[in-house]
Structure 1
Amino acid sequence: MLIQTVVLVLTLLLAPVASSLPPGSYSKTLSLDEPGVEGTGTVSPDEAKKIITKQAETVLTALKHQDMNELQQYIHPEKGVRFSPYATVDVKHDLVFKAEQLPGLLQDKIVYTWGTYDGSGAPIQLTFPDYYKRFIYDRDYAQPEKIGYNELVRQGNSVINLREAYPHSIFVEYHFSRDADQNEMGWSSLRLVFQKHADTWYLVGIVHDQWTI
């Protein structure tokens, strides 16, 4: 009798707590990178490909042809686009340009500091045209060996923090596994990162990646 009474009391005490929890509270904790789960901000590679292929191809073509007038139409209207020379996105220091600034950048003679070089730690001080040739379109990414939609094709020693820097985003990675001399240490990737604004996906990040020390 005593055991039954204790069980009844515990049941009554716990029932209000359980009923006050929102629906789904007892489901497993969802990982940010779990593909295709509503609420995580991440879509599967197949779904990402369906959503972003046309947008990404247009942006990449504009980059290939250095068409800043075309490119500016796809830049996030509020956030602009951030340029990251290496895989780790530095949200505090990586340079960000607004859409209206893009058309004049290829003629811009200002030397900007874009971060620091891997290995030496020396500041990356380049004009935009020089940065473009070194850290944006250093390969013909319109003809890559591999493409990854919302999934990494290659990861080096650098920390990849795309999900933290760009929550609820879709990225496309264009990858070469080696350089022109077939050196595997010469691999490189270009990642285009998109976030949604008013039902449209806009470019918010251009991230270059390569072999690092």
Structure 2
Amino acid sequence: MGKTRISVLLVDGIVIGGTSWPVTEEQLRGWVYSLDGQTLEELHGIDYPSWERAWTEKYSDDRTDELPFDIETVLLTKTETVFANLNTTNWSALANQVHPEKGLFFSFYAAVGSPNSDEVHFTKENLGQLEGTETYIWGYDMGDYAFEFSVNDYTSKFLVNHSMRWDGENSKEIDYDVITFNDSVVQSGGIINTIPDFFPDAKYVEYYSTPPSEELWHQWQALRFIYEEFEDEWYLIGIVRDVHSP
């Protein structure tokens, strides 16, 4: 049986973490693992360079202004993991990125946070236990038509892909080719983005899919991933869909 080298990290006598690494003469590629063998991306949805900068800024006695905690880089990296979890409908993995107390909400429209908005809310625990066949009403149109879909169908037809029909039957694959931080490519598609109004302490990452042509200028779609800080960690609290809504 092979051996493993283990390092335990302490600050003022308190254990704050640890790493493991196989003992071998072979050249290994990649970064360290957790004590139970998981990668940093699997645990926290962040790559090692981003974590190292944040850790150095927080704990090192030699920290300087040249090593800031780069929230933008951290959240852009987290969102790559979150979107991958959505794309594969891996709810247990997505739950690892979700706020421990606030859980996660999904919004069918850009306006979020008000008493009149129709978000679907999950606790962190409930999200991790989803099978994907559970059905919810994700929103209503102006004629009170209910958009009722299973979790997996809603995700595949209206989030990962784009549908111009309310029943989602003509859902098409799209490319989220523009990514912005705390800013939106389209200021309003008919419904105002209310994240800054109702979540002033949050940051968000937007994935934007440009229209396929000038003639089809209205066939864009945006996803906004909202994060809030909790105990020095940034967690996902909302996933918002935005489209042209005349």
TM-score w.r.t. the length of structure 1 is 0.69
The amino acid that maps onto 1:112 is Y
Select the structure of larger CA radius of gyration: 1
Which structure has greater strand proportion? 2
Distance 1:148 1:202, change over 3 A: same
Distance in 2 (CA, whole Å) between partners of 1:210 and 1:120 is 18
Q: How many residues align?
A: 164
TM-aligned CA deviation for residue 167 of structure 1: 2.1
The amino acid that maps onto 1:127 is S
Task: Note if contact 1:150-1:170 (Cα within 8 Å) is conserved in structure 2.
Answer: yes
Structure with the greater relative contact order (CA < 8 A, sep ≥ 6): 1 or 2?
1
Distance in 1 (CA, whole Å) between partners of 2:131 and 2:154 is 10
Distance in 2 (CA, whole Å) between partners of 1:77 and 1:136 is 23
Which of 111, 116, 124 is 1:99 aligned to? 124
The CA RMSD over aligned residues, in Å, is 2.3
Distance 1:164 1:182, change over 3 A: same
Which of 119, 123, 137 is 1:113 aligned to? 137
Which of 170, 179, 196 is 1:147 aligned to? 179
Distance in 2 (CA, whole Å) between partners of 1:184 and 1:131 is 24
Distance in 1 (CA, whole Å) between partners of 2:101 and 2:94 is 15
Identity %: 27
Instruction: Establish whether residue 209 from structure 1 lines up as the match of residue 203 from structure 2.
Output: no
TM-aligned CA deviation for residue 147 of structure 1: 0.7
Unmatched runs of 5 consecutive residues or more in structure 2: 1-69, 163-172
Unmatched runs of 5 consecutive residues or more in structure 1: 1-46
2:216 is matched with 183
The amino acid that maps onto 2:227 is F
Task: Note if contact 2:89-2:152 (Cα within 8 Å) is conserved in structure 1.
Answer: no
Distance 1:189 1:96, change over 3 A: same
Distance in 1 (CA, whole Å) between partners of 2:214 and 2:154 is 23
The amino acid that maps onto 1:144 is Y
